Each structure stands twice: as C-alpha cells, then as structure tokens.
C-alpha cells in the first residue's frame, strides 16, 4: 500500500501553521465577535467564503474550538448541532467533509469522504467542551469520532503507524 506521504505531510504542516496563528488571537472578545458575525450563520453553519460559501468539517471543527476557547456554549451547541444534522451522514462516525450548493441549487453534502483534520478538530473541540462545561455527552461523541479515526484512518507500514488525511484517495 503506497501512501501519498508528501500530501499527508503538507496537509499536516498547513493545518498546524494556520491553527497556531489563528488561535493566538482566538481568546480576544473582539476577534470572537468578528468571527461569529462574519463566518457563523444563525443555524450554526461555518461559512467558507473562499469555497463559494460552502462549509467543511474543518471549518465546523474550528468554529467549535473557538467557541470553547471563548466560553460560548450557545454558539458551540449551535455549530455542533448543525454539524451533526448535516455532516454526520456516513455509516461510521467520521463526518462528510464538504457541504455546499449543487448545480441544481440544492444545498447538501457535496463530498461524503471525510477530512481527518476536520474530524480531529471536532473530536478535540468536543473533549475540550466536555471538560469546560462538565458534559459527558460531548466526551461520548468525541470518543465515537476518535474510534472511527483509529479504525478507519490509520495504517501500519514497516512497523510504523500513519494517519491518512481521508478515508478515500490516499492509498494505492
């Protein structure tokens, strides 16, 4: 099984760099207010204006994590609720990574494949929320995602464990 290691490495480095830069400002109330009003719809959808106003599992996870950092349980629950209702469409507990507007003008899942960074952000945000707001239900949801990541997205090659960026398209 040949893994596209360059792709895996590039995605990991990009996610870590972007997260570190943004999270440095995340706890500032002005930043959070601006982020919420610009990127989070009333129903909890985190909007990616760079992708035709689509939504991604990465964006949803990032919005959830920012809500936890800023102590905004209402927004956290709204974003998590939208995520469950719209991206939790697979047989496992991984989330579809892309939701947007189709050519027929219907808004729905565009790609059922997962994005491991999005699943990881969502699980991490759920674990942080469980601790912050003393909610076991968040931890239970996080553990479902974590189990699916471990079962579906890890491969062993030459005695080493690798994490795939997604379920489909990253092995030969």
141 given a catalytic annotation: no
Residue count (the chain): 172
Tell me the Ramachandran region of residue 125: left when phi exceeds 0, alpha when psi lies from -120 to 50, beta otherwise: alpha
28, 48, 58, 134: the catalytic one is 58
Copy the structure tokens of residue 63.
């919005």
Residue 117 designated active-site? yes
Q: Quote the CA–CA distance of 125 and 23 in Å, as a whole number.
A: 13
Q: Residue 17: is it exposed, middle or buried by C-beta count within 10 angstroms (0-12/13-18/19+)?
A: exposed
Q: Which residues pair with 160 in a beta bridge?
A: 157
Helices (H) and strands (E) in the chain, counts: 6, 5
Active-site residue (options: 117, 139, 151, 172) = 117
The torsion defined by the Cα of 141, 138, 27 and 82, in degrees rounded to 10, comes to 60
Q: From CA 123, how far away is CA 138, in angstroms rounded?
A: 9
- Please give the structure tokens belonging to residue 104: 């027929």
Residues carrying an active site annotation? 58, 117
């Amino acid at each position: 099984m040949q893994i596209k290691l360059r792709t895996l490495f590039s995605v990991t480095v990009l996610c870590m760099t972007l997260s570190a830069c943004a999270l440095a400002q995340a706890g500032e109330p002005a930043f959070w207010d601006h982020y919420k009003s610009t990127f989070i719809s009333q129903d909890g959808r985190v909007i990616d204006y760079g992708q035709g106003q689509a939504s991604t599992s990465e964006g949803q996870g990032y919005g959830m994590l920012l809500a936890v950092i800023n102590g905004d349980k209402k927004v956290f629950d709204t974003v998590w609720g939208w995520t469950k209702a719209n991206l939790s469409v697979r047989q496992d507990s991984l989330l579809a990574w892309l939701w947007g507007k189709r050519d027929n003008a219907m808004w729905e899942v565009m790609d059922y494949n997962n994005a491991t960074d999005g699943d990881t952000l969502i699980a991490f945000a759920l674990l942080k929320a469980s601790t912050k707001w003393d909610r076991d239900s968040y931890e239970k949801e996080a553990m479902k995602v974590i189990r699916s990541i471990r079962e579906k997205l890890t491969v062993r090659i030459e005695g080493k464990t690798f994490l795939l960026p997604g379920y489909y398209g990253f092995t030969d």
